[in-house]
Structure 1
């Protein structure tokens, strides 16, 4: 049996693994499924069609799986899917998706999400991300793996944040942030390559050197975006398989950008 505090309200149809812990005054809705090892602390509300994986920890006063804050939403049943080993601190709000996309908001694995973070409808958050206090992600935002989003940062609808990017404190994000870059400010500007993050993830000096070349082509050589893409493509095949993969991540991101890159 799950460990449910006597004051908690857990719907009869909710599906909880045997070792789930539900704290005082928490509320678990009818269409919620929670995987093994997950803990839900006091006064946390998990509702909607929400599926949660293993070994997550939800701290007090969160609102997880609420309806999207989208004026066009007509009450359709949509979903929130959360992976494994995520830490979600106090007062976070995660909404379900809308049918403007596939109807699912997704959170990956191993994310560290601090207090008051908001994930709006249809957000797609990758793995190993850090979101500091009061980071606010509007609808349809995409965040790649290993991204770090500083406190009080706001991200506009439909923006994309590339893998390994670092967004500084109070960043105002209204365009796409390329992989590997460090950005901050209002207006937002690219400052450098996220060297600290890459080194922490055991990127070799050779790989980092190529990524610094990508930064130079995009931001230091005075090239148009089309010219920079051509020069990046020309780097493929020159520095080994790992660097080729890093270059391709950048090329794919640029090709998929619809709001334009921060430049």
Structure 2
């Protein structure tokens, strides 16, 4: 299933039913899982580990060395989960010694011309829309959507089930279950539509809304809001996840409602 006009190193470990289209180049230290389609004019470099049933469209470059002056040729990887689709002209750089890999989860959709830099960790079912720039060491949680032409600052953290509006400059961390928009980026409510689509009950959505009312609507700073949430709300998976995210956010979380207030 490898086209005669493709250049595939004999050392590459390619499973059954993989299709490699013409003018694609695959290096030796590469693994590709069963059922994956590699379109024409794709470049897959050393360190790529690609799962089953992925689709990789023309012009994409996977596992090029990082755009990081500290990189010194260390042996690192790009890991791509099963069922992920990577559209035209996406670039995904491999890791540095800081982490050792760049990782995308299962069933992601990375749309055309987006860039994912070194040492990023992207969760499962993440959608990154056309033209996004994801800087180094960024973490993005499961089921998050990054709107087109958005840019995420290095070492940024984005939680689960987040909706980032198109064209957003992400300079602060974004906790789970919310929407962000405007310039400068600010809280824009919880992602209730996305949560309902993924099976969250009304009761659970109301609980998440209550947490973010403390954080963004009660004229308290973040530390005061966290203390009140811990005092007045019973522990749940979602409550504890949000609080843990906030406590471990080195950059601080997104501001509220475009007011410029924390």
Q: Shorter-normalised TM-score: what interval?
A: over 0.9
Alignment partner, residue 83 of structure 2: 85
Of the structure 1 ranges 224-233 and 165-174, higher mean CA displacement relative to structure 2 is found in: 224-233
Structure 1 gaps of 5+ residues are 239-243
CA distance in 1, matches of 2:30, 2:63: 9
Q: Structure 2 unaligned runs (5+)?
A: 256-262
After the TM superposition, list the runs of 4 or more consecutive aligned residues in structure 1 that deviate by more than 2 angstroms. Answer: 234-238
Name the residue aligned to 2:226: 229
SS in structure 2 opposite 1:4?
Answer: coil
- CA displacement 1:174-201 (0-9 Å, x = unmatched): 1101111100122111111111111111
Counterpart-to-counterpart distance in 2, 1:262 and 1:117: 23
Partner residue in 2 for 1:241: none
Aligned pair count reads: 255
Residue 52 of structure 2 aligns with which residue?
Answer: 54
* Structural mapping, 1:55-204, within 5 Å: 55-99=53-97, 101-204=98-201
Q: CA RMSD in A?
A: 1.0
1:249 is aligned, of 238, 241, 252, to 241
Per the TM alignment, residue 234 of structure 1 is displaced from its structure 2 partner at its CA by 3.0
Per-residue deviation, 1:214: 1.2
Instruction: State TM-score, norm by structure 1.
Output: 0.95
Measured against aligned partners, the alpha-carbon deviations of 1:57-86 in whole angstroms (never above 9, x if no partner) come to 001110011000001211212111111100
Note the C-alpha offset of 1:237.
3.0
Q: 2:34 aligns with which of 36, 39, 49?
A: 36
What TM-score results when the alignment is normalised by the length of structure 2? 0.95
SS in 2 for 1:33: strand
Q: Report the 3-state secondary structure (helix = DSSP H, G, I; strand = E; otherwise coil) of the residue aligned with 1:249.
A: helix
